[in-house]
Structure formats: C-alpha cells, structure tokens
Chains A and B, each alone.
Chain A
Amino acid sequence: MKFFRSKKYNSLTELVLACQRLEPSAQTIFYERYKAKLTGICLRYAKTKMEAEDIFQEAFIKVFKNLNEVKDIASIDSWVKSVVIRTAINYYNRTTKDQLLHSSIDDFPKELESADYDTIIEQLNVEVLLKIINQLPDIYRMVVNLHLIDGYTHAEIGKIMSIPDSTSRSNFMRARHLLMKKLQEKGITQYENS
C-alpha cells in the first residue's frame, strides 16, 4: 500500500529543477532514472562488484551534491555519465598501487583479423566480456573503457587522467593488445567448447 503518491514531473527539466530544490521525491525518481545505466558504467570501470558499488555510491552523491552547477539541463545525461567516469578514475588514482605492466605489444602473435574480433565480441556474453575487461590492469582498463567504449579522444583522456596524450596513446596500444589477446584466448576457448 502506498501512503504517498509520487509527484509527477512532466519533463526532465522539471525533474532536474526539483532535484536542485532538494525535493526528496524528485531525487528518488532521478535515482531510478539513472541507476541502471550508471551501474553498467561502474561495473565496466571497476575491477570487482564491491568496487563498482563504491564508485556508484560516490558518483551518485557527487551528482546530487553538484546538480546545482548544471546550467544546460538538456545535456544532463552526458554530465551524469562524465561524473561517474571521473569518479571511477579518481577512485583508481587513489587506490591503484603501482602495477607491473610488463605486457609488451610483441608478446603475442596476431592470428586474427579485425573482423574476427568483431565476431568474437558479438558472440561473447556481455558478462563474459565484462569479466575480460575487469581483468585488465587498472590503467589499461581505464583507457579501454574511455577510448573504445565511451569514445574519448586521447587528448581528453590525457586531461582527465592528468597524463600526456602520448602516454594515453601508448597505454591504449598496450591495453588494446592485451584485450585482443584475451579475446583471442576466449574466442578459441569458446570455439573449442562449442
């Protein structure tokens, strides 16, 4: 039994404005609107589900606390997404220990063509694919997510992660190769099992 009927907000602008006025019902609706999408982002950037939870909560708190700064409400979706991504990166800047990144570009032979990776990715279950990304070292996982999935340029990545563009580029090259290697392994395993 519902004691209180939720307020209706006719548009996203009304909802955001109500959130800016700290109306609890609006904040609840806002949370419901973004929770699933942001969970997906957090799970991609995090190594484990627990870390994803930390990032998710920290990000949402930042979103609610900084919602007043949003002037262009039409771009709220991308703003919320960027807050989550920045939170994830900060999280790993705070917690990541120096990882030994010995992955060399020449470490594994290229046996597959680009179309093959497309096929492998298509065939893989999203959870399996997520697991492959989660297993990447933190810096590689960040750059794969930022560049390949979220579409940031290396210049933007360099700015977000406070590293030179070139570092981002080289990180990405290593990350991409490691990912392809893992995909290849997974593809072969899956092929052998099928």
Chain B
Amino acid sequence: MKTPDNNEDEALQKALKRKFDDFAPEPDPSWKKGIFDTLQISNGTAYIRPLLVAAALIVILFLTAIEYDFISINMIRKSDITNEEITVRHDSGWQIKSKNETAAEKSKIIIDLKSSIPEPGKLSFSNTGNMSFKKGKEEKIHSASKVKMVKEALEGKHNEVSTFTENETARISNQLSKEKDLLTDSPLTKVSPGTELLKFNIPKIKPLAIRAFIASNFNPVLKINTQAISRNENAKPEILKTEKKLKFLFNITSMNTFQELTVQAIPGVVYQNIGFPTKFSAKRLGLKLTGGVEKNGFQLLLNYGQFDQSFQYEIATDEFVVNEKNPVGDKIVRKGIKYNENSTLKLFGIGLKRHTLITKNSVFRNYFGDVGIEYSRELTAGSNVIWGNAGFGKQIMISKNTSLTIGPYFEYSLMKLVNPDSKFQVKPYQIGIAAGLRFGQK
C-alpha cells in the first residue's frame, strides 16, 4: 500500500529524472588534460614531435644514402676515364695508383717483359723444372719452388714482393740491358703490344718459366707491384689535413629533458607531492635544430629548440584525511590542492662550439668531440639562458665534400628559469642523440 510519502517520492523522482536525464553539459577543456596527463595518453598532437624527429632523421639518412651513391658512381666513372692519382706519399718513393693506372702499368710490365727477354739460346731448362741462366762464368739456379712463388706474386696471389738491394738491382739492370742489346735479331724483339708471346716459335721455353725468370731478374720498373703495395699495411698513407676551409653544418637533435626544481619558501604556503613525468615519455622529448658554419674546428651556430616543462604539485590545506588503504595502518595525509604546470619552452639562440676530429690511426679514428657554450632567448617568457654543451660521436665521410655526424649530446643550463605561474625555479638539462651533416671541401 502506497503512503502519501511514496507518492511524493514518485512524483519527485519522475520530475527530477526527467529534468536530469538529458543534463550533459560540456566539461571545461582543461579537465581533459588532467586525465590524459595522468594516464600518459597522447592526444593527437603529442605524436607530432617524435614523428617529426624521426622523419627528419630518416630524411638525413636518405639524403646521405643518395648522395653517397651518386658520388661513388661519379668517382668510379672518373677513375675509369682518367688516371687520376688518389693519394701520394712523397717521402717513401712508393706510389699508390688508381686501378686504371695499375692496369696501364701491367701492360707496361708485359712490354717490358718482352723487351727484357734475354736471348733464348742462353736459357736452359732441366726436366725437373729447374732453370739456369748463363752469364759468362756465373750460373743462377732457380728452384721450382721459387718459380712457383714468383708465379703467385705475378698473379696476385702473394702479397710479398721480392726485394733486392741496390747493388743487386743495379747489377741485374745492367745485365738485362746488356742482354737486351743481344736480342736485336731475335723475333721476340719484334713483338708488338697485343701479340701473344707464345705465337713465336721458341722451343723448349715454357711461358711460365720465362715469366719466372724475368720476374726474378726484373727491371726496377717491374718491382712496383701496385697490387701488393695497395695491400701492404705498412705503407699507410697519411691523410692530409686541410680543415681550414669553411664548412656548413646542419644538425637535428632529439633530447630527453630533465629538470632541477627549486621551490622558494613562501610564508604560509606548504608545497607537497611534487612530481614530474616519467623518465622516458613524449612529454619530456625536446627537439633542437642547429645550422651554422665551421672554420678551423670552431663552429658558429644558430639554433632553435623547444621542449616541454611539466610538473605537478599540491599546496597543502589545513585538512587531513586518514588513508585507510595503507597496509601498515591508517595513515594521516594532509590534503592538498593539486596544480599542474605545463608549458612549452621555445628557445632561439646562438652558440660557439669547438669540434675536434681524431684523424690519427687508432680505434678512435674519425670519432669527434664537441664542447661549446650557447646563449638562448626563451621566446614565450622572454628570459635568457646560457647553456654548456658537449657531445661526441662518429664522423662518417659519405662523399668528398659531405660527412655525417652522429652521437650522444648533452646540454646543461647554467642559469635557472623562473616559471611564470608558480615562480618555481627550474634548471633544465637535456640528454639526447644528435645527427647532422657537414658540407664543404675537406
């Protein structure tokens, strides 16, 4: 049985339900931020910055690859056409030559071989493969193993080059020139380039034996085995340092931002539960673009960077609550009013940096180190910041005029920034990865 109160309840219930069923006001936009920040949910635009960084790095690598391929192809074509000398070491008398020149020299060797072949009648071979050369009363006996070794040397299987003392070389040259004079009537002297030696009727003489003989009594010109030299690790060419030319630089740096927070005491205000975003999150990610010039290892750079500064804190109230969920026992917690500080710092500045590249032959060859100082103007609040920075990494030559630098980077603010809202002092420092291109002749 329904009482009058029940009727009133029903009437109220219906009326209120009807009134509030469609009550759905839009929340304040700032409410969302609190939720999504707490949950670390990216809200669309937060994707943009990391993606931009990734895209820029990809573009740099892509351009690098294209340029590397282009330059490589050009270099190969050039060396095919010209006998361009690559590097010269003047002090030792050795020459490292291009492939084309090596080929030319091989041809020359063949011609020299032909012109240096002694009179056939003076060569005699035994059935065991031993070969003897008569020069007056002297007789040289070459073992089959030596022939094999020389053969390998000529065919490039052997890296060692037979070495002769100056006296020996002079003696052999002298001997060969004398022998050559005796060959005027020999059919071999009429050999023209491109004609095979074997076409001539030289009985009892095997081509290999001839080559072995010549190789063991070679002319100084023949001594230059370019293949062997190029493989000879003792003959390391010294890289000529001509770093005085102007270079143009472009860098992109992705950095994780950290901050030292200083809270100044204000009478009557108690701050509590101050917190920062997790160590690795999109909110901490900063981006820096740098462009400039370098001369004599000193870099003058213009840079633009931005990063988020966010933290939260509570201002303690006079209320205390008992936290019943504490497993140890009830804990009295002072209630606080929560505040979130989120601001984006946009910095434009100028910097000076010392760039040092290791060119000596060591495991650290082509590694670089940077140290510098930078002045930046914060564009939103209009404050000034001075940074100290350092970096190191690997410098990779990707073409004659371009190199890629990549490595860790660190910068530390030497000054404190004042947060305009909370008046907290913040000293940021950033750690990240820098990638860049250097243009300009070496």
Q: A and B: partners?
A: yes
Count how many pairs of residues, one from A and one from B, have CB atoms less than 8 Å apart in the complex: 117
Q: Are B335 and A95 in contact (CB under 8 A)?
A: yes
At the interface with chain A, which of B20-28, B248-256, B270-278, B375-383?
B20-28
Beyond A57-B31, A114-B7, A118-B11, whether A64 also contacts B39 by CB under 8 A is yes
Q: Which residues of B contact A64 (CB under 8 A)?
A: 35, 39, 41
Beyond A4-B44, A24-B42, whether A122 also contacts B15 by CB under 8 A is yes
Q: Which residues of B contact A185 (CB under 8 A)?
A: none
B38 contacts which of A4, A31, A57, A122 (Cβ < 8 Å)? A57
Residue B34 at the chain A interface, CB threshold 8 Å: yes
Complex CA–CA separation, A78 to B156 (angstroms): 84
Q: Which residues of B contact A39 (CB under 8 A)?
A: 24-27, 31
Q: Which of B12, B41, B43 has the most CB of A within 10 A?
A: B12
Q: Are A35 and B9 in contact (CB under 8 A)?
A: no
Q: How far is the CB of B43 from chain A (nearest CB, A)?
A: 6
B48 contacts which of A3, A40, A94, A173 (Cβ < 8 Å)? A3
Q: Are B14 and A118 in contact (CB under 8 A)?
A: yes
Residue B81 at the chain A interface, CB threshold 8 Å: no
In the complex, per-residue mask of A161-173: 1 if CB is within 8 Å of any chain B CB, else 0:
0000000000001
In the complex, per-residue mask of B33-56: 1 if CB is within 8 Å of any chain A CB, else 0:
011101101111101100000000
Q: Which residues of B contact A176 (CB under 8 A)?
A: 5, 8-9, 12
B32 contacts which of A35, A40, A117 (Cβ < 8 Å)? A35
Q: Which residues of A contact B335 (CB under 8 A)?
A: 95
Beyond A4-B44, A53-B31, whether A117 also contacts B15 by CB under 8 A is yes
Interface range for B: 35 or more
Q: Are B31 and A149 in contact (CB under 8 A)?
A: no
Closest to B51 in A: A3
Q: Is the interface of B mostly helix, strand, loop or mixed?
A: helix
Q: Which residues of A contact B233 (CB under 8 A)?
A: none
Tally of contact residues, A, Cβ under 8 A: 43
Known pairs A39-B24, A40-B25, A114-B4; list 19 more (Cβ under 8 Å).
A24-B43, A24-B44, A27-B41, A31-B35, A35-B32, A53-B27, A57-B31, A57-B35, A61-B35, A64-B39, A64-B41, A95-B319, A95-B335, A117-B11, A122-B18, A122-B19, A130-B23, A176-B8, A180-B12
Binding site for B on A (CB under 8 A): 3-4, 24-25, 27-28, 31, 35-40, 43-44, 53-54, 56-57, 60-61, 64-65, 94-95, 114-115, 117-118, 121-122, 124, 126, 129-130, 147-149, 151, 173, 176, 179-180
Query: Please, could you name 30 A-B residue pairs with CB atoms under 8 Å apart, sorted by A?
Result: A3-B48, A4-B44, A24-B41, A24-B43, A31-B35, A35-B27, A36-B24, A36-B25, A38-B27, A57-B35, A95-B321, A95-B335, A117-B8, A117-B12, A117-B15, A118-B11, A121-B16, A122-B15, A122-B19, A126-B20, A129-B19, A129-B20, A147-B13, A148-B12, A148-B16, A148-B17, A149-B13, A173-B5, A176-B9, A180-B12
Q: What 10 pairs across the A-B complex have the smallest Cβ distances?
A: A36-B24, A121-B15, A114-B11, A40-B23, A39-B27, A114-B8, A118-B15, A60-B35, A57-B34, A24-B42
